[in-house]
């Protein structure tokens, strides 16, 4: 499996908009799951976790026009550009 973790900053009053956007996006081809964590210490700091079946599935999605559109919608809600961390998943419990 392969995926990304993104640190994002958002106005906490827009969290419901972010949830609605995520719900409307559904699951991308090859995507296993997606999580969004809201930090206790800073409600405007969130971590997005996206898990894909493989690195190839992840990159196919990342380079697709559909993902580009989803990213533009997400970016409109954010206070700054996301900080992305891609990598292989080496352990699952």
Locate the domains of the chain by residue range: 2-87
What are the backbone dihedrals phi and psi of residue 87, each rounded to the nearest 5 degrees, phi first? 175, 170
User: Residues 17-56: pLDDT tens digits?
Assistant: 999 999 998 899 999 999 999 999 999 999 999 999 999 9
- Which CATH number is associated with domain 2-87? 3.30.70.100
Cα angle 26, 14, 42; round to 5: 105
CA distance 28 to 66: 9
Is the overall model pTM greater than 0.85, yes or no?
A: yes
User: Residues 53-69: pLDDT tens digits?
Assistant: 999 999 999 999 999 99
């Amino acid at each position: 499996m392969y995926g990304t973790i993104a640190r994002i900053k958002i106005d906490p009053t827009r969290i419901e908009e972010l949830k609605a956007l995520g719900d409307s996006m559904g699951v991308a081809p090859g995507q296993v799951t997606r999580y969004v964590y809201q930090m206790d210490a800073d409600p405007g700091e969130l971590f997005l976790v996206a898990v894909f079946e493989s690195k190839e599935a992840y990159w196919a999605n990342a380079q697709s026009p559909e993902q580009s559109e989803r990213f533009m919608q997400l970016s409109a809600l954010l206070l700054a550009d996301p900080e992305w961390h891609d990598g292989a998943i080496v352990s699952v419990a």
